[in-house]
Homo-oligomer: A and B are copies of this chain.
Amino acid sequence: MSGSLVVVGTGPGKAELMTPATQAAIAEATDLVGYGPYLERVPAVQGQCRHASDNRVELDRARHALSLAASGRKVAVVSGGDPGVFAMAAAVFEAVEAGDPAWRSLDIRVEPGVTAMLAAAAEVGAPLGGDFCAISLSDNLKSWSTIERRLKAAAEADFVIALYNPASKARPHQLGEAFELLRAMKAGDTVVLLVRAAGTNEARVIVTTLAEADATQVDMRTLVIVGASTTHRVGRWVYTPRGAKLKSQRTTAPTSAMTSPEGL
């Protein structure tokens, strides 16, 4: 088998947020497999086959892509965001595991991308500046009790919480239930950000509080960020300080001694 499969993410939407490595992987593919709207984000290449599908058949799509690769095609599976975060990469490996043993010898790789929470955070400042977690509110593949357990743990640990897949027509009530659960554990003035279409030219940000957050303002294109106790506004921005300094202490000017090694 001389085919290959690369799983890529287009980033949040704007072409300028797609990495050059992902652009190259897409341009070199003979076949693109993906959800229609993500395929529409990438420029057409002559002679390239596009296999568009709807959004609720990830495993079928993964199997189709693996079959194409096994037949010798150079396949790119196209996700939005980063393909490893609530997107197609895990579905591809699920399909490998359950599928033709020969698929385990295929040349498969993943290209990282800019995931939605990073684009959403950048729209408002630096709300992910402290420790944080990412939870998908979709209960198609896990139980709601698992999601509740994770929300509770995140509140107890004072993580900033990024909520992916916060709402859909099939699940209109879950975000409201998540807000209720968090209201019982966190202060009412906790900052909540509803960021729609982050990383596109139509980005729209609502800065509100946990007490006032309205789940009906959220749709599938919205990323919800629930702040930690330290997340707050400065000017027109919202950020979470790198340390655990509390809001009540934040009038104290930081000193030069309060520095840390910068991340990777």
Q: Which residues of A contact B (CB under 8 A)?
A: 7, 11-12, 14-21, 24, 35, 55-60, 79-98, 104-105, 108-116, 118-119, 121-122, 125-136, 138, 140-143, 146, 149-150, 152-154, 156-159, 164-165, 168, 198-199, 220-221, 223, 234-237, 239-245, 250, 253-254, 256, 258-264
Most buried by B among A21, A244, A263: A263
Which chain B positions have C-beta within 8 A of A168?
A: 261
Docked pose: A80 CA to B165 CA in angstroms? 28
Which chain B positions have C-beta within 8 A of A83?
A: 122, 126
Chain B minimum-CB-distance residue to A195: B264
Given contacts A104-B234, A259-B59, contact A16 B19 (CB under 8 A): yes
Chain B minimum-CB-distance residue to A142: B244
**Set B80, B108, B121: member contacting A237, Cβ < 8 A:** B108
Docked pose: A130 CA to B141 CA in angstroms? 10
Contact present for A239 and B89 (CB under 8 Å): yes
Docked pose: A41 CA to B239 CA in angstroms? 27
When all copies of this chain in the complex are counted, the total is: 2
Most buried by B among A12, A93, A244: A93
Contact present for A140 and B260 (CB under 8 Å): yes
Chain B minimum-CB-distance residue to A60: B256
Given contacts A20-B15, A131-B135, A132-B133, contact A263 B110 (CB under 8 A): no
**Set B93, B136, B138: member contacting A239, Cβ < 8 A:** B93
7 A-B residue pairings within 8 Å (CB atoms): A60-B259, A86-B263, A90-B241, A96-B237, A110-B125, A138-B260, A141-B242
Contact present for A242 and B132 (CB under 8 Å): no
Contact present for A19 and B21 (CB under 8 Å): no
Docked pose: A250 CA to B256 CA in angstroms? 51
Docked pose: A253 CA to B101 CA in angstroms? 13
